[in-house]
Structure 1
Amino acid sequence: MADSQKSIFSDSYSMYGGVKQKRKKARVKLDIACEIGLSNGKGTPVTAQLTDLGTGGLSLQTTSLFYEGDVVTISFMLNKVKTFIQGTVKRIAGKTTTVIFSELPPDVHARVQEFIHKHYFDPKAKL
């Protein structure tokens, strides 16, 4: 009889429990040039590097100064389509700025979801 406490996976496989896993939505690591600017139109958008993307938020690297609570617009190319996403700066740590989305338009949500799906399930896809 099988031991109910043993995993069917090898010991090298690990899964985060609810305590460690904070995100509810999948994200992918990437390195894409983007522009970020204040949504109210003040200031000039600046160039940054998008390093992490999901349907709930993103992270980017920039030397420009943003503050928690700033509403920003980020533009970048995704699946060969110019994509614009609006969100709120959630956290800043050094050069890393984390943005959460309030709600993505359905077409942008589908494009991001397709990108994530290709990343995880289609090893031949060119991202």
Structure 2
Amino acid sequence: MADQSKSIFSDSYSMYGGAKQKRKKARVKLDIPCEVSLVNSKSSPIMAQMSDLGTGGLSLQTTSTFYPGDAVKIGFVINRVKTEIVGTVQRTSGKTTSVVFAEISSDTHNIIQEYIHKHYFDPKAKK
């Protein structure tokens, strides 16, 4: 009978517990252009590069300054569909701005979910 106190993995293998895992929803890394503007501003949107996307939020690279709590509108094209999402800046670090979505429509959620699914599970997708 096998010794159940011994792991089949080496001692260097470790998993993140719930306390270390911050994201509840899957994200995918990408590099697509997007337009970002403050929700209550009449100024023109600025161009940025989206670096990851999930159904709960995204990260983008920009030289413009955003602050935690800023309400932003982000426009981008994914799966050939022009999409616009409103969210709140969660944090900034250097050129990276992380945004959490306020609420997204079920159509937008499905478009993002399909993109993530295709990235992870489509055998033709580039890894």
- Distance in 1 separating the partners of 2:18 and 2:50: 27
- Partner in structure 1 of residue 36 of structure 2: 36
SS in 1 for 2:18: coil
Matches within 5 A, 1:95-110: 95-110=95-110
Give 2:38's aligned amino acid. Answer: L
| TM-score w.r.t. length of structure 2 | 0.88
SS in 1 for 2:115: helix
Tell me how many residue pairs correspond in the alignment.
127
- Distance in 2 separating the partners of 1:7 and 1:101: 40
| Residues 72-120 of structure 1: CA deviation (Å, up to 9, x unaligned) | 1111110111111110011011100000012110000000011111111
- Partner in structure 2 of residue 80 of structure 1: 80
- The runs of 5 or more residues in structure 2 that have no matched partner are none
- The runs of 5 or more residues in structure 1 that have no matched partner are none
SS in 1 for 2:90: strand
With over 3 angstroms needed to count, the CA separation of the structure-2 counterparts of 1:8 and 1:42, relative to structure 1, is farther
| TM-score w.r.t. length of structure 1 | 0.88
Provide the alpha-carbon RMSD of the alignment. 2.1
With over 3 angstroms needed to count, the CA separation of the structure-2 counterparts of 1:16 and 1:73, relative to structure 1, is same
Shift of 1:13: 6.6
Give 1:66's aligned amino acid. Answer: F
Identity level (%): 69
- Distance in 1 separating the partners of 2:79 and 2:15: 29
Give 1:44's aligned amino acid. Answer: S
- Partner in structure 2 of residue 113 of structure 1: 113
Shift of 1:39: 1.5
- Distance in 2 separating the partners of 1:123 and 1:8: 29
Give 1:124's aligned amino acid. Answer: K
With over 3 angstroms needed to count, the CA separation of the structure-2 counterparts of 1:6 and 1:43, relative to structure 1, is farther
SS in 2 for 1:18: coil
| Residues 30-56 of structure 1: CA deviation (Å, up to 9, x unaligned) | 111111011124211000000010011
Give 2:28's aligned amino acid. Answer: V
